[in-house]
Amino acid sequence: YQYFLEKIRKDYSDNSDFYTLCTEQSEKAIIKRKISTENQNIINRKDIEIATEYILRELPFLIAPSVLLATDSNVHISYYCTWPVADYLYQDNLSLSPHSYTKIVIKDHVA
């Protein structure tokens, strides 16, 4: 896990597109959360940094879940909607790309 996380952190610091994408997605998530809880507090830089850290820590599980789970089987990861960070990862824009055993399942909930 640490190996994958460090590679992702390096990409985050070296790849301006990836950095921007992660911080924008973090800000969107915070805004959605604040709207749903009727929280009117201003979003500060620290909030975005904390949310972005959650994204970075999740990505090793998209890259190599079979390695992290010590299995040679396909691992399906389910999200409730499309996620631009995962899309970016699957487009081979980073130093690591998802293992062939990794499968993403999107379950869009249409309102």
- What is the per-residue pLDDT across 45-58, written as a single tens digit (0 to 9) for each? 899 999 999 999 99
Does residue 67 form part of some domain? Answer: yes
| Encoded amino acid at 13, one letter | S
Domain count, the chain: 1
Does residue 91 form part of some domain? Answer: yes
Cα→Cα distances 76→8, 47, 105, Å: 21, 30, 7
Instruction: List the domain range (segments joined by +) for residue 84.
Output: 2-106
pLDDT digits (tens, 9 = 90+) for 50-109: 999 999 999 998 888 778 878 777 776 776 667 888 889 888 888 988 877 777 676 665
Does residue 28 form part of some domain? Answer: yes
pLDDT of residue 70: 82
Does residue 111 form part of some domain? Answer: no
pLDDT of residue 98: 82
pTM of the model: 0.78
CATH code of 46's domain: 3.40.50.11710
Which parts of the chain fold into alpha helices (H)? 2-14, 16-36, 45-63, 65-68, 84-90
pLDDT of residue 111: 52
pLDDT of residue 41: 74
Does residue 42 form part of some domain? Answer: yes
Does residue 57 form part of some domain? Answer: yes
